[in-house]
Amino acid sequence: MVQIKAVGDCGALVELGDSISETVNSKVMELSRKINEHSLEGILETVPAFCSVLVCYDPLKTDYNAVSKVLFQLSESLEGRTGTGGRLVEIPVCYGGSFGPDLSFVAEHGNITEEEVIRIHCSRDYRIYMLGFLPGFPYLAGMDERIFTPRLKTPRTRIPAGSIGIGGEQTGIYPMDSPGGWQLIGRTPYRLFKPEQAGRPLYEAGDSIRFVPIRREEFEEMRREQEKG
């Protein structure tokens, strides 16, 4: 059942469910796409999340009643088809060592080897359910339960940009230096957050990510290429 709530004087929150699932999230992405395609008067942006879409509007051009009416109409025909749309983005990762200081803990927690953790982590494509916490931080669903690992009891004060972490049932990528409490298993040489760069970002909510293991030598070479760009 669709619910729409006012958020301050310039936002409307459309809730399409109360559970994290690909079907619900597909409806979220579909609604966000429909809103943007309709070019509705006064709409500034949409922010899709796990089960909801935040719609920001200009209160000098429209109001909550007008916006919520259109949102209800657009929500009535959502199909929520899974496995369609979105790009597949490959992210190279150098696992373990100084790049993945918690890889051994993840392996120990799952009663498997570090090599198995890497193999399992790279064995599937992960849907980006939402971006949040930091600009460009992807919350990725669909991780194998064998490598589910609780967050750190005491978060680190600084995690290097590009670090790949596991937090409970999810995995994600830190796009910039920041504090954080996820278990770190590797790092990508890609620079994921580029505020100075215009155009479409490397990935968006609704896309999928595939992790590809690389050696330390490849990491350094790719990082040098990133710095040139």
Q: Where along the chain do its domains lie? A: 3-75, 88-228
Q: At what angle do helices 22-38 and 64-75 cross, to 10 degrees?
A: 120
**What SS3 class is residue 225?**
helix
Q: Do domains 3-75 and 88-228 have the same CATH topology?
A: no
List pLDDT tens digits, range 18-46: 888 888 999 999 999 999 988 888 999 99
Q: How much is the pTM?
A: 0.86
* CATH class (in words) of the domain with range 3-75: alpha beta
CATH tag, 88-228: 2.40.100.10
What HEC string does 97-150 produce?
A: CCCCCCHHHHHHHHCCCHHHHHHHHCCCCEEEEEECCCCCCEEEECCCHHHCEC
Q: How far is CA 91 from CA 5, 80, 83, 97, 176, in A?
A: 37, 27, 20, 18, 15
Q: Provide the sign of the torsion angle of the four alpha carbons 203, 206, 207, 209, taken in this order.
A: positive
List pLDDT tens digits, range 129-160: 999 888 889 999 889 999 999 999 999 999 99
